Structure 1
Amino acid sequence: MKTRTLGTSGPVVSALGLGAMGMSDAYGPTDRAESIATVHAALDAGVTLIDTGDFYAMGHNELLLAEALRGRDRDGYRLSVKFGMLRGPGPGFGGHDGRPEAVKNFLAYSLTRLGTDHIDVYRPARLDPDVPIEETVGAIKEMIDAGYVRHLGLSEVDAATVRRAHAVHPVADLQIEYSLISRAVEDDVLPTLRELGIGMTAYGVLGRGLISGHWSTDRGTAGDGRAAMMPRFSGENVAHNLTLVEALRGVADAKGCTVAQLAIAWVAAQGEDIVPLVGARTRKRLDEALPAVDVALTADDLAEIEKAVPRGAARGDRYPSAFMANLGAGN
């Protein structure tokens, strides 16, 4: 497995990371045994970056990972953990909490659930509009100084917030959605990260399955949890977006890879400072994603991909309108 470094201050990690959210939350029924087997397969293949959130099924995901990672060398993997999203017992979200005392409280629970003495990259999942980012980051810095956290990360914040956070403590990476159909980060966020020496972990590289090559109009979104709420999957939007996938399939066929592998490889090709996260819930999907790190895209390949899926060609926002205001970049 190839490796990349998260910015100038972050850890060395595998060139492809595993996003664990779907194993517990959001996208329909899961199989616990298969989830654990998938984590094991990822580690055995050299994947060292595993991403989770303390609010993924309210701690279920962290407990699942603790079980999957039990007995593994703690120095053999890096845990990225998001915190601060508030939830109730139902499916809804209740805002954000970035208060310093909450940061330490969330961290204590995560350390216990994960069965570890430190988190490698700790990050607020979203910006708390009522708490200055300097205060949230300051609390994480205290936890870094105390040895409970190794590196500071951010998630879904804009360029100005990145600068403010980085002034308090060096930011290792920003986690943000980036794919062929979600490219707003290219305007301000990505240039700022590169100016400051901050890496990026890119989630949603397959557009929640939309550009994986496996989605179809007759599949629908029943049973796929959060995808049912995403505007890109609704009505005429999904039909249009799938025409882009078919154009991409032609490029993938010529390259001798799958659509999913091409989409992942495209993200990785945007810079050595970017690590794609794949939300594989099964070994089958993981096995398809892993070869993407070896798909080398030439300038001609990139031009063909751009022709097949031009920036801005996708229809529909990446989140429902109520969530869009809290994102660090638009579509």
Structure 2
Amino acid sequence: MRSRPFGRTGRAVGEIGFGAWAIGDAWGKVDDDASIAALHAALDAGLDFIDTADVYGDGHSEQLIARVLKERGGERPFVATKAGRRLPQQTVEGYSAENLAAFIDRSLRNLEVDTLDLVQLHCPPTDLYYRPEAFERMERLVEQGKVRHYGVSVERVEEALKAIEYPGVASVQMIYNMFRQRPAELFFRQTRARNVAIVARVPLASGLLSGKFGPDTKFESSDHRQFNRHGEAFDVGETFSGVPYEIGLAAVEKLRLLVPDGATMAQLALRWILMSEAVTVVIPGARSSQQALANIAAAALPPLPADTMDAVARIYAEDIKPYVHQNW
């Protein structure tokens, strides 16, 4: 797997990482044994970037990662976490120095480290990006040695563009996939000019782009694909990338015709993301060893031909763009 520089940090990471939301919560029943096996399989295969958050399973995801890394010993992968969503209500005032320090200290304990590799402000209110003091507080945490680098996880392109005006922001995590193409229009050029890393999340549109779902697919009540279809719990863009389920299914049937021989629909979706040199790492989730290894194998696919890229662009423009493009 090819490595890509992680912005200005001096680190390089493999272009496919491990998204650890699903091993925490909100994706149905969690099987810790399977999650641990998936992490081990991914790390054995050379994966070296893991993304988690303090709210995934109320810290359970972070704790599982710590357990696996302790079992393995040796060189550690780059582990990114997030802070801010533990607030009972999302307000700018909630991102106080006191609260941020408490969130960071808790993640340090959960991950069993003295310094966090990367802390991302976790989809904070838009107004926060216009408050320099919030980013100054992150600088103080770096100076204290609790955090090596910090970045943001955003919902909207506009938030990302504002965030990278702050020189200390090392990375931006955002939704980017075949159903959410707007970041590539302007934002990617800006991040390359400023040498900011991009972490592409929700690469499979909550599984829609795996090609495994149908009109009758049932999701558990504890799965956000059931309880957040209309944004009831958090931003609707996090669930199926904001695409109405039936619209997404129809588009997937067109995309299915583009899958290379010997590959899967999910691998096509991941390889499409990696066609952008602006993307540093893509973080599909995995709840089994098989899923983890299949994700990593997408990096070995040859570059997608121009006619495939053109076809994806047409399907997006005709079928998906009206539902998502200007919303995020």
Q: TM-score, normalised by structure 1?
A: 0.85
> Contact 1:20/1:50 (CA < 8 Å) preserved in 2?
yes
**Cα pair distance change 1:35/1:202, threshold 3 Å:** same
Return the match for 2:101 from 96, 101, 104. Answer: 104
**Partner residue of 1:281?**
287
Q: What secondary structure, in the 3-state scheme, does the structure 1 residue paired with 2:247 have?
A: helix
**Structure 1: 5+ residue runs without aligned partners?**
89-93, 319-327
* TM-score, reference length from structure 2: 0.86
Which secondary structure state, in structure 1, belongs to the residue aligned with residue 199 of structure 2?
A: strand
Q: Residue 15 and residue 154 in structure 1: after superposition, are their counterparts in 2 closer, same or farther (change >3 A)?
A: same
One-letter code aligned to 2:35: S
Q: Distance in 2 between matches of 1:138 and 1:225?
A: 36
- Contact 1:4–1:14 (CA<8 Å) still a contact in 2? yes
The 2-side partners of 1:199 and 1:126 are apart by 17
> SS of the counterpart of 1:219?
coil
The correspondence for 1:152, drawn from 142, 150, 153, is 150
Aligned pair 1:13/2:25, yes or no?
Answer: no
Q: Following the alignment from structure 2 to structure 1, what is the Cα–Cα distance between the partners of residues 191 and 287?
A: 30
Query: Is it true that 1:71 corresponds to 2:71 in the alignment?
Result: yes
Alignment identity in percent? 27
Question: 1:264 corresponds to which letter in structure 2?
Answer: L
- Choose which of 105, 113, 118 in structure 2 pairs with 1:121: 118
C-alpha deviation, 1:163, in angstroms: 5.7
Distance change >3 Å, CA 16–CA 135, structure 1 → 2: same
From 250, 256, 265, the counterpart of 1:249: 256
* Structure-1 separation of matches of 2:132 and 2:318: 33
Structure 2 segments unaligned to the other structure (5+ residues)? 231-238
**2: CA distance, partners of 1:74 / 1:157:** 35
Query: In structure 1, what is the Cα distance between the partners aligned to 2:287 and 2:37?
Result: 10
1:174 equivalent among 142, 147, 172:
172
Among residues 302, 307, 317, which one is paired with 1:300 in the alignment? 307
Q: Which amino acid aligns with 1:56?
A: Y
Instruction: Please give the alpha-carbon distance, in whole angstroms, between the structure 1 residues aligned to 2:61 and 2:317.
Output: 34
Q: Which moved more, 1:269-278 or 1:117-126?
A: 269-278
Deviations along 1:196-254, one digit per CA (max 9) or x if unpaired, are 22121001110000111111111133446111222576xx94233212112111110x4
Cα 1:110/1:217, change in 2 over 3 Å: same
Q: Conserved in 2, the CA contact under 8 Å of 1:122 and 1:152? A: yes
In structure 2, the partner of 1:313 is 319
Contact 1:6 1:12 in 2 (8 A): yes
Letter in 1 for 2:229: M
Describe how 1:16-27 pairs up with structure 2 within 5 A: 16-27=16-27
CA distance in 1, matches of 2:214, 2:161: 41
Offset, 1:194: 2.3
Question: How many residue pairs end up in the alignment?
Answer: 313
Separation (CA, whole Å) in 2 of partners of 1:45 and 1:270: 23
Query: Contact conserved, 2:200 with 2:279, CA < 8 A, in 1?
Result: no
Q: 1:190 offset after TM fit, Å?
A: 2.4
Query: Which one is further off, 198-207 or 145-154?
Result: 145-154
Task: Determine the structure 2 residue equivalent to 1:84.
Answer: 84
Aligned-residue CA RMSD in angstroms? 2.6
